[in-house]
Amino acid sequence: MIDDITRISDAAPALVLAATTIDQLRGVESDLLGKRGSLTELKKGLGALDADGRREVGAALNVARASIEQVIETRRLELESVERAATIAAERLDLTEITTSRPRGTTHLVTQTWDRLVDVFVGMGFTVAEGPEVETDWYNFEALNIPAAHPARGMWDTLYVDLGDPETVLLRTHTSPVQIRVMTETPPPIYAVMPGRVYRRDTADATHMPVFHQIEGLVIDRAISFADMAGTLESFTSAYFGGSIHSRLRPSYFPFTEPSAEYDINCVFCEGKGCRTCSQTGWLELGGCGMVHPNVLRNVGLDGEEWTGFAFGFGLDRLALMRHGVDDIREMYTGDLRFLEQFPS
Ligand code: DAH
């Protein structure tokens, strides 16, 4: 029996090496060591031996098994790495075709402006919020101190959505409703800007589009004054337009602020000398602002004795036009590449 064991054990390495796949190796392993394998068959003969014989042959069987297992394991590692390399080679993707150069697009001027404005305000410590474009009358008007039939409703030519009771659901006419949402959802202090798309029943011309963008600002804290607002807007102006452009505030009227003001900057076309774009005034009007009206604070459940604040709303497209010296807002929306390509991001 010892001879048989030696024969099997000596022959094993050649058999193992002859296996060229993991499957074949598994076959060889089972032929040698499996339930019906040659070593296992020999082991069955142990019962017929005396105690000494059993010990001797048993030990030889164990040695043979261990050395065969070792050879198989080594071969398995070899074959696995060969097969892995083959799989990788077979699954290799040829990506060279994609390197043929295609012109790279850029973000739209509106998107660039949006991002830049948000960057400037985030740099000043503001957070960013957004709200829905389809709004209810409450958020767009009522909560902003503009009740139904108030003459100020005429300031916004509203597009209504045919949903629910007549004139209760609309396309927001400004980003101011997001102020209401922010004040309702977050306890003060609040320092937030709210960029977004807005809609008005307007005919497109050089200064109007029925769909355009605004960026709203809101600050609510203790002891906020008109001077804080003026300072914030002046800082914003020089951060966005550069140090040579300044801001001024003119008295105005908005139902949701008291006092209210119009925010102007030096004309970027003539730098204040007076030109056609600024109607010879040297100033360009960019938006409205003011101290948040006590009725608005009441509508969102804030105590006007404890909290005060200011708000502002600018035309985002208009800011972009002014910054880049473009004199017709429609240019932004025709999709003309000759225009868009002048603003690579
Ligand atoms: N919502 C106003 C508009 O669309 C702009 C505006 C004015 C926003 C004054 C404000 C504000 O937050 O305080 O014309």
What distance, in Å, lies between the first and last C-alpha atoms of the chain? 84
Q: How far is the CA of 306 from the centre of ligand 1 (A)?
A: 23
So where are the chain's domains?
2-91, 109-340
Closest CA relative to residue 22, chosen from 87, 74, 83:
83
Closest CA relative to residue 172, chosen from 206, 139, 146:
139
d(CA 201, CA 183): 28
User: Which atom of ligand 1 lies nearest, measured to the CA of 256?
Assistant: 13
d(CA 52, CA 41): 20
d(CA 72, CA 98): 45
Closest CA relative to residue 292, chosen from 149, 169, 144, 184:
144
Residue 144 and residue 296 in contact, taking contact as beta carbons nearer than 8 Å: yes
Partners of 136 in the beta sheet? 169
Structure token pair of residue 170:
């609309």
Q: What is the mean pLDDT of residues 53-68?
A: 86
Q: How far is the CA of 177 from the centre of ligand 1 (A)?
A: 10
In this predicted structure, the answer to whether residue 101 has a pLDDT above a threshold of 80 is no
pLDDT digit string, tens, across residues 164-182: 998 999 999 999 999 999 9
Q: Residue 21: how many CB atoms within 10 A of its CB?
A: 11
- CATH T-level topology, domain 109-340: BirA Bifunctional Protein; domain 2 (3.30.930)
Partners of 313 in the beta sheet? 216, 288
Indicate the pLDDT class of residue 245, thresholds 50, 70 and 90. very high
Tell me if the bond preceding 210 is cis, omega within 30° of 0: no
The residue whose CA is least distant from atom 2 of ligand 1 is 313
The residue whose CA is least distant from atom 4 of ligand 1 is 174
Higher pLDDT: 301 or 18? It is 301
User: Which atom of ligand 1 lies nearest, measured to the CA of 217?
Assistant: 12
In this predicted structure, the answer to whether residue 102 has a pLDDT above a threshold of 80 is no
User: Which of 178, 212, 256 is the best mutation target for the ligand 1 pocket, counting ligand atoms within 8 Å of the beta carbon and taking the most?
Assistant: 256
Q: What is the pTM of this model?
A: 0.71
